[in-house]
Amino acid sequence: KNEVEQSPQNLTAQEGEFITINCSYSVGISALHWLQQHPGGGIVSLFMLSSGKKKHGRLIATINIQEKHSSLHITASHPRDSAVYICAVRETSGSRLTFGEGTQLTVNP
């Protein structure tokens, strides 16, 4: 069992739809990251969370430390949101990140 699991693996949506990507982890963490990787490969850090909720534009990230679960929401999705979204956790024991397998999101016009 992976320490970080994401669901779904693949997600196709129509433009304008509300999207949710989930991340569950099994270790104690000091922070959780949501990353976006576009087809060219470059990675952008979207959020870093240790508790509660953060919002940036159309993106919202939440985390429930007790349940070891985080969600990334995209409101009013757009084709340019098409990318791989990766959840990564920083374990309390160190500085390394452990990555989920990623969720491939495709938003069709």
Partner 1 sequence: GAVVSQHPSRVICKSGTSVKIECRSLDFQATTMFWYRQFPKQSLMLMATSNEGSKATYEQGVEKDKFLINHASLTLSTLTVTSAHPEDSSFYICSARDPRLTSGRPSETQYFGPGTRLLVL
Which residues in this chain contact partner 1 in the complex, by CB under 8 A?
30-31, 33, 35, 40-45, 48, 86, 88, 90, 95-97, 99-102
Cβ count within 10 A of residue 11? 19
- Contact present, 3 and 101 (Cβ < 8 Å): no
Both tokens of residue 94?
């160190």
Nearer to partner 1, 17 or 65 (CB): 65
Least gap, CB of 41 to partner 1 (angstroms):
4
Nearest approach, Cβ of residue 107 and partner 1 (Å): 19
Q: How far apart are CA 81 and CA 59, in angstroms?
A: 10
Of 70 and 102, CB closest to partner 1 = 102
**Nearer CB in complex with partner 1: 14/92:** 92
